Structure 1
Amino acid sequence: MPIGRLEHANLSVTDPERSAALLKDLLGWKERWRGESMMGGRSVHVGEAHDYIALYTGDHVKGEYAKGNPLNHVAFTVDDLDAAEKVVAFHGLKPFGHDDYEPGRRFYFFDWDGIEFEVVSYE
């Protein structure tokens, strides 16, 4: 049976530079690539050597997404949940939904476009 892992997710956002700065600060990621998109618009890719988030924008991207339409949230693990929460607040976003259940502690936040993120620590 093949073994796989998530290679990337491509999210449409209104300001890829702003979103990239958040993810780099929150997760310690680096910018992997930026440039014009093959289908118009532009992208910034942030992540690690084998996985990343592609942050895409174009003239048609307006943001204001509704939760669950079609994406419920994107989740990340961190080694220091309290420090991660401070980063989210520093970027002007509001953490909510703090909880502690298996497999770890967590909180959620919406970005500027209405995309929901979950941040979890297994520590």
Structure 2
Amino acid sequence: MSAILEHANVTVTNPEATAKWMADVFGWHKRWSGASIHNGFSLHVGGADSYLALYAPPTTPKSPGNSYTTRGGLNHLAVTVTDIKATEAAVWAAGFTPTNHADYEPGQRFYFRDGDGIEYEVVQYDD
């Protein structure tokens, strides 16, 4: 038996703004948006086979503590890309700062945080 991750759901301040930078950086598109649980708003952004559900509650969400020391904390989301240099340029253009660059077996990676403080890992695997 095997399983494929279809989506993850994260709370953000502004789903539309988050989906915009994700379209610019990752080439993703808006799949759906509308009213959601607890009188909030959700937007699904991604590709044909997987997506992120971006949820905004009706009031401004609170800042989290350190995710690595919080039970159930979201430590980072990772995406694979085919051109890490172009993706890094797009991350800079979106106003985020790439950090923690590494060449490792089997590829390259860097991290960045978005305006909501969510950490993303960008990975390009060697062919």
Give the TM-score normalised by the residue count of structure 1: 0.91
Could you list the runs of 4 or more consecutive aligned residues of structure 1 that deviate by over 4 angstroms after TM superposition? none
Structure 1 gap segments, 5+ residues each: none
1:19-98 superposed matches below 5 A: 19-58=18-57, 59-63=59-63, 66-68=66-68, 69=70, 70-98=73-101
Q: Summarize the Cα distance change of 1:35–1:65 in structure 2 as closer, same or farther, 3 Å threshold.
A: farther
| Residue type of the alignment partner of 1:120 | V
Q: Which moved more, 1:41-50 or 1:60-69?
A: 60-69
Q: Which moved more, 1:79-88 or 1:24-33?
A: 24-33
Looking at structure 2, the residues matched to 60 and 51 of structure 1 have their Cα atoms a distance apart, in angstroms, of: 27
Equivalent residues, number: 122
Looking at structure 1, the residues matched to 10 and 37 of structure 2 have their Cα atoms a distance apart, in angstroms, of: 15
1:97-112 superposed matches below 5 A: 97-112=100-115
Asked whether the equivalents of residues 7 and 52 of structure 1 are also in contact (C-alpha less than 8 Å), the reply is yes
Looking at structure 1, the residues matched to 116 and 66 of structure 2 have their Cα atoms a distance apart, in angstroms, of: 9
Offset, 1:91:
1.0
CA RMSD of aligned residues (A): 1.5
Query: Identity of paired residues, percent?
Result: 48
Structure 2 gap segments, 5+ residues each: none
